[in-house]
Chain A
């Protein structure tokens, strides 16, 4: 599913780091098990902690959840911060909308407009949500919420049921919107020393904008948006 290639430039940087940092310090590579510290991790221990989900579905557990089931879970656990329609409350993240906004002046990066993989939604809800009680939802509830949030973004129909078979097949609208091969440096400045430009114009100043909290005295709690 992934065709991810590292650029030659990155390899060069990595190689450079090895020369600088490692050679004088570390001796020859030790054999596996040379130190042998710690205890062997049992299958049961690994299964309990190994919660990551990949785009190809690796890691997804048994269970399932529908859009309708997700709506009830969402209203109870999510809507107070994310809004009933995923519109976001205050500074809490907006989950839905923003299609076509990424190249606009005020882009809205939501699950529907920005997230490249549906698996990330399951993974993140399960590991870190609800914000005030992470890892408290059942697998079925996480499937249901995933289905519901996808439906809020019109990515799946109302009769969609998320499970380990259906979820990896969901194609996200912005799946091809990313370049995973770091193209930097994208800017090349020159080290000019004399007469580098004809004129200097100040285009903006922070003076008088009144956005900066105090940097003296006790912590400044006073400035709010």
Chain B
């Protein structure tokens, strides 16, 4: 085996020498001296990794031969865990400092304006913490399942991974997404208006598998999920949903959950309020009644104009938004433009999306981009020839239950302006003659 490695090293040394021969002599000497290449033929991966990107003098496009074509870049494992290009450094989660008392109990927003597919990169998935994100040692973490079960158990993370696993693509949306806009247009940004939704492929164990294995007693009608963070976050979930499509997830887009997303395990409750997807999951209790926890009474209940409130409004109703153009991504010019966006529904699949360019007077059906999956973000697009005049862009989703995304006026008429949660109304973008885009509301 070591012989093989030595041969491999020798081969790589040859490649490096050959590469260096193509360089001008001064650069070749510098390259070979640089320590990137050593006598043993081992490449020192990090040698070039620390070099900061800088704008090169002069243009790099035709007829010039770009500088990066005439030199070598860092070798493999220069970034043992890959990171985005430094030129993408502005593509980050962002927060609204005036929104919450403290970052420890706060939210950050996904930069939807920069994302190109339905999967949210793990480092850009929106965050909602109630007591900061804990640093959990998976060796020390346990999941307890107890209550109205035949066999109360404690599972290590290794135990959990022995169960059969499933993978499913699901969005997670905070029900307060867009909640700052009930009274009027406040924020001029796709990221801050709609960035509390993200989507990932989740891998883990079906909750039904775990519950069947411990045996639910017949009186068991409700499940309490509890996190291991400083908020010990809890939500009551009816057993029908728990046995339907809920999973205890340990992986997100193919790798272990990020700490911000509940490492080492979280609940994924497809289509339901983000708050039910309890992160840093430590305990599942089966009971015969709901627990009426703070997060389902004082919070995450929808105040109606008459002063009553709706509770247990778990499903995230269908919603869509145009992501290009948007305030951060103005139109670049007259002529053919692609209107693109995202649609999703907590009740199943997106059936259709319509787009209007005249504030909802007339609509055209957009194309859906595969894959179209249940309770997942779905892409849509419509080709539009812009004549350079001001326009009012809107999108409207219809899901497989036939539900049609409402206008803000319709929603306000029934819900008033004090609901905070579940504002899934049609977004209007005003396109100005210069191509700039503004968040507006219609009466």
Contacts and interface: CB of A to CB of B under 8 A. Distances in A.
A186 B407 contact: no
B192 A212 contact: yes
Contact of B240 (A14, A45, A56, A209): A14
Contacts, number: 311
A122 B264 CA distance: 29
Interface in A188-205: 188-197, 200-205
30 contacts: A14-B240, A14-B241, A17-B348, A21-B374, A29-B212, A41-B152, A50-B146, A107-B418, A111-B298, A120-B293, A124-B293, A128-B231, A185-B403, A187-B414, A189-B404, A189-B410, A194-B363, A196-B360, A200-B359, A201-B442, A202-B392, A205-B439, A206-B439, A207-B188, A209-B185, A211-B98, A215-B90, A215-B94, A215-B191, A215-B192
B238 A6 contact: yes
A135 B231 CA distance: 9
Given A4-B290, A45-B154, A200-B358, A52 B226 contact: yes
A217 B226 contact: no
Contact of B311 (A52, A180, A215, A217): A180
A6 B314 CA distance: 12
Contacts of B144: 41, 45-46, 49
Given A52-B226, A52-B234, A200-B359, A221 B97 contact: yes
Interface string B284-299: 0101011111100110
Interface string B428-443: 1010000000111111
Interface of B: 90, 92, 94-98, 100-101, 104-105, 111, 113, 130-131, 144-146, 150-156, 159-160, 162-163, 166, 168, 184-189, 191-192, 206, 208-209, 212-215, 224, 226, 230-232, 234, 238, 240-241, 244-245, 270-271, 282-283, 285, 287, 289-294, 297-298, 301, 303, 305-315, 317, 327-328, 347-348, 354, 358-364, 374, 392, 396, 398, 401, 403-407, 410-411, 413-415, 418, 422, 428, 430, 438-443
A49 B154 CA distance: 11
Contacts of B428: 202
Interface string A1-42: 110101000110110111011100110011011111111110
A1 to B, nearest CB: 8
Which among A92, A203, A204 has the highest number of chain B CB atoms within 10 Å? A204
Contact of A200 (B287, B347, B361): B361
A21 B213 contact: no
B410 A187 contact: yes
A17 B105 CA distance: 33
A197 B428 CA distance: 15
B153 A182 contact: no
B270 A179 contact: no
Contacts of B441: 202-205
Contacts of B403: 185
A185 B317 contact: yes
Given A26-B208, A38-B153, A187-B411, 5 more contacts: A114-B309, A115-B298, A179-B308, A212-B186, A213-B97
A211 B154 contact: no
Which among A49, A109, A190, A219 has the highest number of chain B CB atoms within 10 Å? A49
A103 interface: yes
A90 B101 contact: yes
A41 B154 contact: yes
B410 A21 contact: no
Interface in A129-161: 131, 134-135
Contacts of B439: 205-206
Interface of A: 1-2, 4, 6, 10-11, 13-14, 16-18, 20-22, 25-26, 29-30, 32-41, 45-46, 49-56, 81, 90-92, 102-103, 107, 109, 111, 114-117, 119-120, 123-124, 127-128, 131, 134-135, 177-197, 200-207, 209, 211-213, 215-217, 219-225
A177 B213 contact: no
A189 B415 CA distance: 14
Contact of B297 (A120, A215, A225): A120
Contact of B430 (A135, A181, A202): A202
A6 B312 CA distance: 10
A123 B442 CA distance: 43
B236 to A, nearest CB: 9
B362 A194 contact: yes
B151 A124 contact: no
Contacts of A111: 298
Contacts of A20: 348, 374
Nearest to B283: A49
A225 B443 CA distance: 27
Contacts of B271: 17
Contacts of B150: 32-33
A134 B168 contact: no
Contacts of B292: 54-55, 116-117, 119-120
Which among A29, A33, A38, A204 has the highest number of chain B CB atoms within 10 Å? A38
B244 A14 contact: yes
A50 B374 contact: no
